[in-house]
């Protein structure tokens, strides 16, 4: 008999605090090597931990909500035992078992047996708890990855079953990510940096034309040519004009970075906001930026980011206009950075332009761009110099 401890490698958390979100298998279940067996939640990302060997998950030392470090065993796999709880199944059979469909007759509120389960992916532990307590899964709000129902959601429901989707008010558990966001935002705005925001107009005509010509060729090479790609490229040019934007305040000095590691605020629906970081943008052209940005945003939205993907940022872009806002202020600075750029919604507006000495009204695709600065480090001069260079780069885009 060989017992193999499930222990995190130090680089899996990279110094961030992690808690066990949920086990994907019960004790006594058969697991296969490299198969996801549990989910960890840090203050920034959700990670799946895979089985180091094939065998029986004989012991779970930690439960949902327990803190996890790289120095302790989370559980044990017996790579020589045979499951006592269930016969060994192929991976396709296990996948089929996990997805149970809701019956066609949904008018009866008295659910029982398999009627408790809707057409969504749930773990064996969650399935067991639903059946044990005769809970309709549709009464629960999932806080796991992709809104998956976790054991913790069921425990919270059992403590107060009135907090379900049919009640007039809900008390949703706060995830580690949301708790971290709240802490960092309050610290940045109220306790650390005096925030000042400037707003400029941006005419998007030039990059819309360029994107129309290059979107398909980029796509064929695996790069999604989004407007954010242009914004990042323009940030690089603007930082070259005003390097102090790309800086960090220390006690007695201001550190100005040579590397431009630009973070991109990415909304995860109701789960919070994450900021994957595009490293070394000063060495990238538009295609390289677009391709790497595609990889990062796909990883963010599928919860595949590693801690290293969200660390080391020196400047941040918040494209809040994708959700409809024209101006958002102040966009809170991602400490310990010194500034954050905001991009508003594109809309066609009537603008007054001068042609041959005459003022003419023209319709242009416009948006507001804002820069929020840490006034301990930067003043209006640096802020407006950056925005002027940023706007000029985009409005005169020709490559």
* String of DSSP letters for 174-192: PPHHHHHHHHHHHIIIIII
Residue 103: inside a domain: yes
Q: What span, in angstroms and rounded, lies between the C-alpha atoms of 10 and 397?
A: 45
- Among 173, 194, 214, identify where a domain stops: 173
Is-contact 245 339, C-beta < 8 A?
yes
Across residues 85-91, what is the average pLDDT? 43
Could you tell me if residue 256 is inside a domain?
A: yes
User: How many whole angstroms separate alpha carbon 248 and alpha carbon 204?
Assistant: 31
For residue 162, the enclosing domain spans: 91-173
How many whole angstroms separate alpha carbon 323 and alpha carbon 296? 19
Examine the pLDDT at 204 and tell me if it is beyond 90. Answer: yes
Instruction: Evaluate whether residue 84 is within a structural domain.
Output: no
* 3, 300 Cβ separation under 8 angstroms: no
Position 113 confidence tier, pLDDT thresholds 50, 70, 90:
very low
CATH number where 254 lies: 3.30.559.10
- At 91 the pLDDT is 41
Q: Are residues 127 and 253 in the same domain?
A: no
Same domain, 212 and 359: yes
Mean pLDDT of 134-147: 75
Say whether pLDDT at 330 is over 70.
yes
116 shares a domain with 23: no
Instruction: Judge if 267 and 375 occupy the same domain.
Output: yes
Count how many domains the chain has: 3
The string of pLDDT tens digits covering residues 294-309 is: 999 888 878 788 888 9
CA dist 297 to 153, 266, 267, 272, 314, Å?
A: 28, 7, 10, 14, 18
**Model confidence at 92: pLDDT above 80:** no
Domain boundary among 16, 47, 78: 78
pLDDT the model gives residue 99: 39
Report whether 8 contacts 69 (CB < 8 A): yes
Which residue did the predictor score with more confidence, 138 or 116? 138
Q: Are residues 226 and 288 in the same domain?
A: yes
**Nearest-angstrom CA–CA distance, 87 and 16:** 38
Give the confidence band of 85 by pLDDT, cuts at 50, 70, 90: very low
pLDDT for 101:
37
The answer to whether residue 377 is domain-embedded is: yes
CB atoms inside a 10 Å sphere around CB 153: 24
Whether 83 is covered by a domain: the verdict is no
Q: Is residue 232 part of a domain?
A: yes
Q: Do 247 and 101 fall within a single domain?
A: no
Reading phi first (left if > 0) and then psi (alpha if -120 to 50, else beta), residue 332 is in: beta
Query: Residues 23-27: what's their mean pLDDT?
Result: 90
Q: Are residues 265 and 331 in the same domain?
A: yes
Task: Provide the strand spans (E) within 8-54.
Answer: 18-23, 30-31, 36-42, 46-50
Query: 256-261 contacts: CB < 8 A, separation 24 or more?
Result: 257/314, 258/282, 259/314, 260/235, 260/236, 260/314, 260/315, 261/312, 261/313, 261/314, 261/315
Decide: 198 and 390 in contact? Cβ < 8 Å.
Answer: no
The confidence band for 95, taking pLDDT boundaries of 50, 70 and 90, is very low
Same domain, 371 and 327: yes
Which burial class, exposed, middle or buried, applies to 321 when counting CB atoms under 10 A from its CB (0-12, 13-18, 19+)? buried
The terminus-to-terminus CA distance of the chain in angstroms comes to: 65
Instruction: Tell whether 124 and 73 lie within a shared domain.
Output: no
- What average pLDDT does the chain have? 82
Domain CATH number, residue 148: 4.10.320.10
Q: What secondary structure letter does DSSP report for 222?
A: T
**Residue partners of 162: CB distance under 8 A and separation at least 6:** none
**Cα gap 29→34, rounded to integer Å:** 15
Residue ending a domain, choose from 146, 173, 200: 173
The DSSP string of 113-134 is GGGG--SEE--HHHHHHHHHHT
Which has more pLDDT, 127 or 384? 384
320 and 200 inside one domain: yes
| Domain shared by 74 and 133, yes or no | no
CATH number of the domain to which 40 belongs: 2.40.50.100
Residue 97 lies in a domain: yes
Q: Is pTM, for the whole model, over 0.75?
A: no
Distance of CA 2 to the CA centre of its chain: 38
Does residue 298 share a domain with residue 191? yes
- Res. 78: pLDDT tops 60: yes
Residue 163 and residue 348 in contact, taking contact as beta carbons nearer than 8 Å = no
- Does 362 reside within a domain? yes
């Amino acid at each position: 008999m060989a017992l193999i401890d499930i222990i995190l490698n130090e680089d899996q958390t990279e110094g961030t605090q992690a808690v066990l979100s949920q086990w994907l298998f019960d004790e006594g279940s058969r697991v296969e090597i490299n198969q996801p067996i549990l989910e960890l939640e840090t203050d920034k990302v959700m990670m799946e931990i895979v089985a180091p060997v094939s065998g029986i998950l004989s012991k779970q030392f930690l439960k949902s909500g327990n803190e996890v470090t790289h120095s302790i065993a989370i559980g044990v796999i017996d790579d020589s035992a045979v499951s006592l709880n269930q016969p060994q199944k192929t991976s396709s059979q296990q996948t089929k078992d996990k997805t149970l469909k809701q019956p066609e007759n949904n008018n009866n509120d008295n659910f029982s047996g398999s009627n408790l389960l809707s057409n969504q992916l749930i773990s064996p532990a969650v399935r067991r708890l639903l059946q044990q307590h005769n809970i309709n899964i549709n009464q629960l709000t999932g806080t796991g990855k992709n809104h998956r129902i976790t054991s913790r959601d069921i425990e919270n429901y059992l403590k107060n079953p009135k907090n379900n989707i049919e009640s007039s008010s809900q008390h949703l558990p706060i995830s580690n990510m949301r708790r971290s966001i709240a802490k960092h935002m309050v610290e940045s705005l109220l306790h650390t940096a005096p925030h000042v925001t400037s707003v400029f107009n941006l005419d998007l005509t030039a990059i819309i034309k360029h994107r129309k010509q290059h979107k398909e060729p980029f796509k064929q090479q695996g790069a999604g040519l989004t407007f954010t790609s242009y914004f990042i490229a323009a940030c690089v040019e603007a930082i070259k004009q005003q390097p102090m934007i790309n800086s960090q305040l220390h006690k007695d000095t201001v550190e100005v970075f040579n590397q431009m590691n630009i973070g991109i605020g990415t909304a995860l629906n109701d789960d919070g906001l994450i900021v994957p970081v595009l490293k070394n943008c000063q060495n990238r052209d538009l295609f390289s930026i677009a391709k790497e940005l595609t990889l990062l945003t796909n990883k963010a939205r599928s919860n595949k980011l590693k801690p290293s993907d969200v660390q080391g940022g020196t400047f941040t872009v918040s494209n809040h206009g994708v959700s409809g806002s024209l101006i958002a202020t102040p966009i809170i600075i991602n400490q310990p950075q010194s500034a954050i750029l905001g991009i508003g919604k594109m809309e066609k507006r009537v603008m007054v332009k001068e042609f041959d000495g005459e003022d003419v009204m023209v319709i242009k695709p416009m948006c507001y761009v804002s820069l929020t600065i840490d006034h301990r480090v930067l003043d209006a001069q640096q802020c407006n110099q950056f925005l002027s260079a940023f706007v000029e780069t985009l409005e005169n885009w020709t490559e």
